[in-house]
Structure 1
């Protein structure tokens, strides 16, 4: 499970970095062509600026949706866990004790 989270975090960080580089490159291109007076270059620059703004807005919206969905899922899972512990206190104590013994044994071996 930890490896999966690490891989996901690594991929997410790499995607963020790639998008940041792409955004910077498009901004540099737009700034570099700002002095070109031709109508076609002006139109291309405006389209690039619009697309960059639209892409940023979509990515921000998607990030917010993912954050909200994750928060709701975790909240639901925490509520389920809390209900289980309240409904089955002795089973929960047994599971906690068993986990404590296993962790203690693993730490004692070092």
Structure 2
């Protein structure tokens, strides 16, 4: 997945979650001011909107966990295939971080 595609999916997820939460909030406000069958219907619709939001967030969580596992697997394979390059990269990163810290 490319960075732009991931960014598009992230924005879509955020927009979906915001819309669902706004809908649920509005429905709960309406339900607070009404009674009887209408209030029950509004509460049901609000709960459905919250369930959609929760499901969307769970799906996103699953995708992030899956991508994290894939990244860890790829990194592990790389380190096993090219241990000296991995050591060199780690040493270079440590050197840069050490230089940045010592500048303070």
Runs (4+) off by over 4 Å:
none
Q: Which has the larger radius of gyration?
A: 1
| Partners of 1:100 and 1:61 in 2: CA distance | 41
Does residue 67 in structure 1 map to residue 68 in structure 2?
A: no
> With structure 1 as the length reference, what TM-score do the two structures score?
0.66
- Counterpart in 1 of 2:27? 26
- Counterpart in 2 of 1:80? 74
| Partners of 1:49 and 1:106 in 2: CA distance | 55
What stretches of structure 2 of length at least 5 have no aligned partner? 1-9
Does residue 100 in structure 1 map to residue 94 in structure 2?
A: yes
Does residue 89 in structure 1 map to residue 83 in structure 2?
A: yes
| Partners of 2:92 and 2:62 in 1: CA distance | 34
> With structure 2 as the length reference, what TM-score do the two structures score?
0.70
What stretches of structure 1 of length at least 5 have no aligned partner? 1-7, 36-41
- The 5 Å alignment of 1:44-55 reads 45-55=39-49
How many Å apart are 1:64 and its aligned residue?
0.9
| Partners of 1:85 and 1:76 in 2: CA distance | 14
Report the RMSD for the aligned CA atoms in angstroms. 2.5
